Amino acid sequence: MARRSSLPVTFIVPTLAILLVLSMVPTLYAIVIALQNRELSSTAYSYVWFSNFYDLFFDRRFLNAVWVSVKWEIVTVAATMAVAIGLGVLMFEVASPRLRNIYCLLFIIPVLLPRVSAAFVWKFAYHPLYGIATYPYRLLTGGLIFDPLSKPATALFAVASVDVWQWGLFFAVIVLKLLETLPPQPIEAARLDHAKRWQIHAYVTLPMLKAPLISLMFVKMIESLRSFDLIYVMTRGGPGVATETLDMYAFSQGFIESGKVSYASAMAVLMMIATVITFTMLWKRVQA
Amino acid sequence: MRPGRLIGKTVLALAGFMAVFPLLWTALNSLKNNVDIITRVPRLVFTPTLANISYIIGRDSVMIGLYNSVIACGVAVLIGVVLGLPAAYSVARYPNRWAGDIQFFVLSLRFLPPVAVAIPLMVIWLQLGLYDTLAALIVTYSLLTISVIMWLAIPAFQAVPKEVEEAAFVDGYGAYSVFWRIALPVAARSLTGAVAFSFVLVWNEFLIALMLSSSNAKTLPIVASELSQQGMNVPWGILNASVVLLSLPPLLFLGVLSGFLNSVFRQKKT
């Protein structure tokens, strides 16, 4: 296909130029703002260099937000992968082709919903008095009240369950499709050796899918960074700071509580550096 | 093996139920009067009402939000198609030594935390006098749509059999008409999926819209989330109706997207 043509240049240069401008201008500007002391309430500002970053390290709420974000990543990624592999293998084992198609359609629905919608749906469902998800508890305990979203111990998990509801079910479909692409011979061979069903998956099929499963996990790690919508609608970071992730804290510092735009931007810049470094390293690993 | 299969089927059926029931319940609640929602025991039998839905449709703020969402997402997706598809084709068919880097750059845009982009953009749009306009939102969303469409369209173009394109060259087609008349139509199904995906992504976007709009350019997700901030004083039925309205457009693409998923994995098999 090495034909001489202007096509590669005319097709890619404008697009790349626009992408570069659209991404680099905000990123660089985020760093500039982080070095200043801008506030929403006034237009005056000056350069304070690294003092925002310095302050962050002594901000207990920031350190809490880092910890909440790390917890959120671990919980949602692990639970999503567990649900996806569990249901994917189950569909592969017990569902007929027609049933598989139906399940695949059903399992894609939650992930298509706007996060705001998903958050509302479950916020209602978790309502302690009138919620449909808490109804079985009321029924079994004779009307005791369980309010998962307002208890610090359960709030994060309650919100994370919505994320897993959206992504775990969707990834189950992908795991099934991956299993379907495998050649049948190794599975047959294992079956002839009297391997049990779970052994076949644990020792044959899942190891064969190691690379795509790791890529899948990588995608989920990136998507888990976008927790803001769920948390904003369901708990606003509460109760207290139990579900306050970094983006939630940055948002409330910058726009709700104090309007410290530069302080919020410093946080966002730290987040950006951490994610870009982590994911670049992971990506090179995955590709290698 | 028998009882194992039965348990497996039950678990699956339960998961399928869990996948759609919360949404169906919300849709049902949108047809209820408040007395039928605020009950300790969930009510399945009730006299349905269209009051919630007509209230939602009759509200100016909701209609403006809907209009803003449609325009912002529609135009951003259009820009994504016009700029993203040709670029993806070029990477797929005319690989150079930067092809890997370009792909990584496009993917890495997805690593950027939305807050980190939204804060500086807010300041920039304020200074340009474009804050709270659809134009600002469209430009910002274009970054999303172009990169996502490009990322998904590269493999779609690579899956087009090279022989078809070679044959067209032999027939005297130029590089541009091969793209236009051969590659685009052949890859059309996967490309539709990629475009639909990018639409769902920006339609569902919340944080950037929240930070870049204050009154005029609010998109539907923002309007919906604001309804709830008036506390539980707003009848739940109305909130449920707004959730249903917000969720319908992405669900329209369910067929296209599941077809897209199938075609992606069929390619892998061969």
Q: What is the CATH number of the domain that holds A204?
A: 1.10.3720.10
CATH 1.10.3720.10 domain position(s) in chain B: 60-269
pLDDT band, residue A176 (cuts 50/70/90): very high
How high is the pLDDT of residue A42? 77
Check whether B155 has a pLDDT greater than 60: yes
**DSSP code, position A59:** -
Chain A segment 89-108 residues within 8 A of B by beta carbon are 90-91, 93-95, 99, 102-108
Provide mean pLDDT across the span B171-177.
89
C-beta separation of B111 from A276 below 8 A:
yes
Beta-bridge mates of residue A47: A36
Vertex A269 angle, CA A267 and A270, to 5°: 65
- The 3-state DSSP class for residue A40 equals coil
Q: Which residues of B touch A102 (CB under 8 A)?
A: 16
Say if A219 is an interface residue toward chain B (CB within 8 Å).
Answer: no
| Average pLDDT, rounded, for chain A | 89
Q: Which of B225, B246, B200, B219 is nearest to B71 (CA)?
A: B219
Give which of A235, A227, A218 is closest to A271, Cα–Cα: A227
Range of lowest pLDDT (A60-74, B186-200, B249-263): B249-263
What are the pLDDT digits (tens) for A239-257? 888 999 998 999 988 888 8
pLDDT at B230: 63
* Banded pLDDT at A1 (limits 50, 70, 90): very low
B228 touches chain A (CB under 8 A): yes
Q: Is B67 on the interface with A (CB under 8 A)?
A: no
What pLDDT is stored for residue B53 in this prediction? 87
| pLDDT tier for residue A197 given thresholds of 50, 70 and 90 | confident
Task: Name the 3-class secondary structure at A127.
Answer: coil
Provide the pLDDT for residue A254.
84
Task: Let me know if residue A186 belongs to a domain.
Answer: yes
pLDDT, mean of residues B79-103: 90
Contacts of A145 in chain B (CB under 8 A): none
Q: Does B191 touch chain A (CB under 8 A)?
A: no
The correct answer on CATH 1.10.3720.10 for the domain covering B60-269 is yes
Of the pLDDT bands very low, low, confident and very high (cuts 50, 70, 90), residue A225 is confident
Query: What's the CA gap between A113 and B65, in Å, rounded?
Result: 17
Q: Is A174 on the interface with B (CB under 8 A)?
A: yes
Residue among A8, A29, A132 whose CB faces B124 most closely: A29
For residues A82 and B94, what is the distance between their CA atoms, to the nearest angstrom? 40
Question: A interface mutation test: which of B2, B12, B20, B107 has the most A CBs within 10 A?
Answer: B12
Q: With respect to residue A87, please indicate whether it lies within any of the assigned structural domains.
A: yes
**Residue position matching structure tokens 């340009």:** B128
- ipTM for the predicted complex: 0.88
pLDDT value for A3: 57
B188: how many CB neighbours lie within 10 A of its CB?
A: 11
Instruction: Report the SS3 class of residue A47.
Output: strand
Q: Is B140 exposed, middle or buried (0-12, 13-18, 19+ CB in 10 A)?
A: buried
**Weakest mean pLDDT among A151-155, A196-200, B178-182:** A196-200
- Please tell me if residue B45 touches chain A, with a CB cutoff of 8 Å: no
Q: How many domains would you assign to chain A?
A: 1
Q: State yes or no: pLDDT of B7 exceeds 50.
A: yes
Residue A40 to residues A26, A36, A258, A262, B120: CA-CA distances in angstroms? 18, 13, 8, 9, 12
Tokens describing residue A161: 């369950």
Identify the band that residue B270 occupies on the pLDDT scale cut at 50, 70 and 90.
very low
With beta carbons less than 8 A apart as the criterion, state whether B122 and B212 touch.
yes
Partners of B19 on chain A (C-beta within 8 Å) are 106-107, 109-110, 165, 169
- The minimal CB distance from B108 to the residues A5, A114, A276 is found for A276
Q: Answer yes or no: is A2 within a domain.
A: no
Please tell me what DSSP assigns to residue A257: I
DSSP characters for chain B?
-HHHHHHHHHHHHHHHHHHHHHHHHHHHHTTS-HHHHS-SS--S-----SHHHHHHHH-HHHHHHHHHHHHHHHHHHHHHHHHHHHHHHHHHHS--TTHHHHHHHHHHTTTS-HHHHHHHHHHHHHHHT-TTSHHHHHHHHHHHHHHHHHHHHHHHHHTS-HHHHHHHHHTT--HHHIIIIIIHHHTHHHHHHHHHHHHHHHHT--HHHHHH-SSTT--HHHHHHHHHHTGGGS-HHHHHHHHHHHHHHHHHTHHHHHHHHHHHHHHHH-
pLDDT-based confidence at residue B267 (cuts at 50, 70, 90) = low
Residues of A numbered 1-20 whose beta carbons fall under 8 angstroms of chain B's beta carbons: which are they?
1, 3, 5-8, 10-12, 14-16, 18-19
Backbone angles phi, psi at A42, to 5 degrees: -135, 160
The answer to whether B120 contacts A283, with C-beta atoms less than 8 Å apart, is no
Q: B235 or A25: whose pLDDT is higher?
A: A25
The size of the A-B interface in CB pairs under 8 A is 270
For B31-89, write each residue's pLDDT tens digit: 888 778 777 778 777 888 888 888 888 888 889 999 999 999 999 999 999 999 999 99
Residue A120 has pLDDT above 50, yes or no: yes
From CA A234, how far away is CA A125, in angstroms rounded? 11
Out of A32, A103, A272, the one facing B112 most closely (by C-beta) is: A272
Q: Which residues of A touch B162 (CB under 8 A)?
A: 1
Q: CA A71, CA A157: separation in Å to the nearest integer?
A: 10
- How far apart are the C-alpha atoms of B89 and A213, rounded to whole Å? 27
Interface of B with A in 23-42 (CB under 8 A): 23, 25-26, 29, 37-42
CB-neighbour burial class of residue A96 (10 A; exposed 0-12, middle 13-18, buried 19+): exposed
Percent of the residues in chain A that have a pLDDT greater than 90, as a whole number = 49
Chain-chain contact of A174 with B165 (C-beta, under 8 angstroms) = no
Task: Please judge whether B162 and A1 are an interchain contact, meaning their C-beta atoms are less than 8 angstroms apart.
Answer: yes
Backbone angles phi, psi at A41, to 5 degrees: -75, -20
pLDDT of the residue at B111 = 82
Whole domain around residue A82: which residue ranges?
A: 7-287
